[in-house]
Amino acid sequence: GDTITVTYTYVPKGSASVTVNYVLVDGEGNKLKDLEGGKTTGYKEGDSYDVTGDISAFETANPQYTRREITGDTSGGPLSAGAHKTITVAYTLNDYPFTVEYYRDSVSDGNKLTPPAETVTSAKAPFGTVLNEETVGLYLENSGWLNAMRPSGYNRTAATYVTVGVDEAANVVTVLY
């Protein structure tokens, strides 16, 4: 018998990539900033990609954001040689409640002042908002909030401000008379 020799020539598959960009947008969808630099992953021709796990991991690690939309290429599928897919995931900041608590003499349960029902002492503000005299007044819609519970004969001695976070229990501004 004759021998037949078949020669195969192997060449590397073409390369492809997928980039996922995470961005913060305002209520109208205008980009405010990049949340995380574009994450680019390299693939070979014919590979399939799926970035839904990456997006879920980002959202789990960043609960302060709500997904608004995904634009660009699809979030999964096969890749051809030279393909460069770009997916942009846009988020808005979540609002979290904050509360103002008023105290007389010292910050303790026994010295907490109970405001009348018509006195607004809580509101919501976007994650990361630095609460100060001005911003609390804006969100409560009450510029006189600092003196709202001042007992007769007392001066305000201190107000302790916070930055709005995901933990509602920590989003407390205290006013001491």
CB 49 within 8 A of CB 19: no
Write out the DSSP string of 41-76.
EEEETT-EEE-HHHHHHHHHH-TTEEEEEEEES-SE
Kindly report the pTM of this predicted structure: 0.71
Closest CA to 103 of 153, 143, 150: 150
Residues written for the chain = 177
Residue 121, C-beta contacts closer than 8 angstroms, at least 6 positions apart: 99, 100, 101, 102, 115, 140
Q: Measuring CA to CA, how many Å separate 75 from each of 89, 122, 146?
A: 10, 40, 49
Closest CA to 17 of 31, 35, 38, 34: 38
Give the up-direction half-sphere exposure of residue 154: CA atoms within 13 A in the CB hemisphere.
Answer: 18
Residue 151, C-beta contacts closer than 8 angstroms, at least 6 positions apart: 104, 113, 177
Residue-level pLDDT at 82: 87
Q: In which residue are the tokens 């006013």 written?
A: 175
Distance (Å, whole) CA 81 – CA 94: 40
CB 54 within 8 A of CB 19: no
**pLDDT digit string (tens) for the chain, length 177 residues:** 777 777 665 545 678 899 999 999 998 999 999 998 788 888 888 889 999 999 999 999 999 999 999 999 988 999 888 889 999 999 999 999 999 999 999 999 999 999 999 999 999 999 999 999 999 999 999 999 999 999 999 987 899 999 999 999 999 999 999
Residue 56, C-beta contacts closer than 8 angstroms, at least 6 positions apart: none
Amino acid at 1: G
